[in-house]
Chain A
Amino acid sequence: MSLVAQFLSQIQQQVRNQQGDQLRSWLQVEPESPKQYHDLANELRARYSRQDAIDKVVEDALPQQDDLPEGQATAWPGLLAFLKDYLTYWRDVSFADLLGAHQLLSGLVNSCSTAFAHPTYGSMLLQVSMSLSETLARLTMNLNRRPDLTRRLRVVDDDNRKSVAESSAEIIQKIFTTCLTDRSGTRTSKPEGKRVGVYMFANLVLKLLFACRRTQLAKMIFVNIETISPPLSLYPAAQRVTFLYYLGRFNFSNQHYHRAALCLQEVYLQTPPQLVSHRSNILTYLIPSNLLLGKFPSTTLLSRPEAQSLKPIFLPMCMAIRSGNFVQFQSHLAAHEAWLFEKGLLLPLSNRLRPLLWRSLSRKTFLLTYVPPQDATSRKAATLDLSHLLTVATYIQRRLEGWLPGNPTTHGRPSQANPLFMQAIKNTVQSSAETTLAPPPGGPRKLRPNEGLIWGNALVTYEDIEMTVATLVQQGFMHGFVAHSQGRFAIIGAKAKGSPVLAGWPNVWLTIKERRHEDGFDLDQVPGWVTL
C-alpha cells in the first residue's frame, strides 16, 4: 500500500469518528514536519504528478456515504477538495521559495475554510483550520519583512494590488466569519461548535494585521464582533487578554485614548504578574494612553519589573510635562525617536502632549509672575500677563534653536575660547541686552516642524500665545477667559477654589472625564468589547 493511500485511510477514519485533534496533528504543513511528510511529498511527485491522479486517489479513499451509524460522519465535497489541495501542496511546495509556498498555502487554507463551512461536519476542522491559519500568518509576517520578494509579486500581478498581508488576513477572516455566524446556541450561552473559535481567529487576524502595520483593516473584525459575537467573558483568559490588547491598540491608533486605556488597563490587570514580557508590552501602550489623558505612572508602577525598560523613556517625559519644559521634552523625544517611532508612539506623543506642556508652562509662568493684591478684599480677578508667557516661550524657542543659557559676556573672557565663538557673541551684543541667552555659535539649529514650539524655526508671536491660551481654555485645561484688549488671561472662580492656580489650571484627567458628550454617549463603553 502506498504512503498516500495509507495516509488517506487514516484521515478517512478520523473523519468518520470526527476526531478534530487527530486531524490537526495529521494534516501538517510546516517545513519542520517529520520525515514521513517529506517522503509523502516524494511519492506524490513520483506517482501523482497529474491532477486527475490526485483527484482519484482522494475520491476512492473517502467515499461519500448516506447511511451512517449514530455519531459517525462522512466525507463531503468541500472536504475532498481540501484534501486534494493538501496533497497538491505537499507535491508542489518548495520551502526555499517563500512566495510560492505562501501562494500554495493560501489556496490550501482557502479550501479548508470552505470545508469548515459545512453546516453538519465542518466543525471537526476547527483545530486544523486554526493550525493552518497560524502557519499562514507566520509565513505572511515573514514575507512582509521581505519587500525584495513581495515587490516582485506586485509587478507580476499589477491588477491585484492587495498586499500579501491583506490577502492572508482575508482568507483567515473567512474562517472567523464562519465561526461568528454559526447558529449553535444563543448569543449569551456557553460557546459550542464553531463559535468556540470566534476570538481565536479574530486574534490571529489581528496579530497579522498589526505585525504588517495594516491596523485599519481590523475595523471590520470589531464591527462584526460588536454586532453578533458572544460576550468576551465566556472565553478563556489568554483569548480575552489578547483580544483586548489589540482592541486597545486599535483605539490608540485611532486616537481614542480613553477607550485604549480602558482595554489595556483590563489586559494589564488580567495578565498574571509573572508574565513580565507580556505586561511590559501592555504597558508600552497603556502608559502613553494614560499620559495623554493626564494620568501618570506612579512610583509603584514604575518600580515593577515589567516597567524597568520603560521607565527611562516615560519618567523623564512625565517630568518635562509637569514643569512645562519643552527643551527637556524635545531632547528626550529626540533621544528615543527610533524606539518611539517603531512602536507608533512618536507622532501621538510629540503632538498630543503639547497642550499639557503649554498648560504647565503657562501655570509655571503664573507662579513666577503673579503678585497677589495687597488688599485681601480686592475683587479684581487674578490674571496672567500674556506678554510674560511670550517671553518664556521665546526663551524656550531660542533654547530649542541652540541658544545657550547663562550669558557668557557677563562672565569675562575665557582665555581659551574659540575666537569664532567670541566673534559670534560680539556680533549679537544687541540681543544680549534682551535675553539671558547667548546666541548659538554656529547659527540657529534648523528645526523640523515638530521640533519647534510653534512650527520649526518660526518665531513665537503674541498671536500664537493668545491663540494657544484660548485653545487651552476651550479644552478646559485653563479656566477663565482671554481679556484681549488687556493682553491677559483672567482666572474665574479663584475665591471658590481657594487659590487662583487651582482655579485657573484644573486637573487634566478630571477635566477630560467631565467633558460633556452627546446624550446617550457612554465614555466607558468600548465598541467591540462585548459585555452584554
Chain B
Amino acid sequence: MASTTTEPKVAEPEQSTSNEQQKPEQKHLALGEDDEFEDFPIDDWPADQTEAAQRNGETKHLWEESWDDDDTSDDFSNQLKEELKKVEAAKRR
C-alpha cells in the first residue's frame, strides 16, 4: 500500500488504526475456527523442511504392522483362564 504511486486519499487500509467503533459482537466475526485446521502462517515451504524428504528414514518407524499379543500371563488372560477352567469343570459335573 505505502509503495504505490497513487497516494490513497480516502483510506489507508493496511494501517491498522484503532477503531473506536468496534462493538463486542464484531469480535465474534474474527473468532470461531476453534480447532478446525488453521490457515498456515506461510504459503509455501521447501520439501527439505519436511519429513517427506527423508521417506526412508525415521518415517518408516511411525507405524506398527505386527502387534499381536502372545502374552497369556496378564490379568485379563488369567481371568479368562480361570473362567474357562470353572465353566469346563461345571460342564463335566
Contact = CB atoms under 8 A, between A and B. Distances in A.
Contacts of A395: 79-80, 83
Contact of A322 (B38, B39, B68): B68
A436 B86 contact: yes
A266 B52 contact: yes
Given A32-B19, A236-B44, A277-B38, A95 B26 contact: yes
Interface in A270-310: 270-273, 275, 277-278, 281, 290, 294-298, 300-301
A434 B87 contact: yes
A364 B79 CA distance: 12
Contacts of B83: 391-392, 395, 435-437
B67 A275 contact: no
Nearest to A97: B25
Main secondary structure of the interface of A (DSSP, over half): helix
Contacts of B70: 367, 501
A210 B36 contact: yes
Contacts of A434: 86-87, 90
A271 to B, nearest CB: 7
Main secondary structure of the interface of B (DSSP, over half): loop
Interface stretch (A36-44, A72-80, A115-123): A36-44
A388 B42 CA distance: 59
A236 B43 contact: yes
Contacts of A388: 84
B25 A95 contact: yes
Contacts of B71: 323
Centre residue among B4, B31, B37, B52 by max chain A CB count within 10 A:
B37
A464 interface: no
A353 to B, nearest CB: 13
Interface in A1-30: 3, 6-7, 10, 13-14, 19, 22, 25-26, 28, 30
Contacts of B68: 322, 360, 363, 505, 507
A20 to B, nearest CB: 13
Contacts, number: 207
A241 B8 CA distance: 37
A25 B1 contact: yes
Given A300-B58, A318-B67, A391-B83, A3 B13 contact: no
Contact of B76 (A241, A272, A328, A509): A328
A171 interface: no
B26 A31 contact: yes
Contacts of A153: none
Contacts of B92: none
Interface string B42-68: 111101011110010011011111111
A86 interface: no
A269 B52 contact: yes
Given A138-B30, A322-B69, A6 B10 contact: yes
Given A142-B28, A266-B52, 19 more contacts: A3-B10, A14-B6, A28-B13, A32-B26, A95-B29, A96-B23, A98-B25, A145-B32, A238-B43, A269-B51, A272-B49, A300-B58, A301-B63, A318-B67, A328-B76, A368-B77, A391-B83, A436-B86, A501-B70
27 contacts: A7-B11, A10-B10, A32-B19, A34-B11, A34-B15, A35-B20, A96-B25, A138-B32, A142-B32, A237-B50, A238-B45, A241-B40, A242-B40, A266-B52, A271-B50, A273-B51, A281-B35, A281-B37, A295-B63, A295-B64, A298-B63, A318-B67, A322-B69, A364-B77, A367-B70, A368-B72, A391-B88
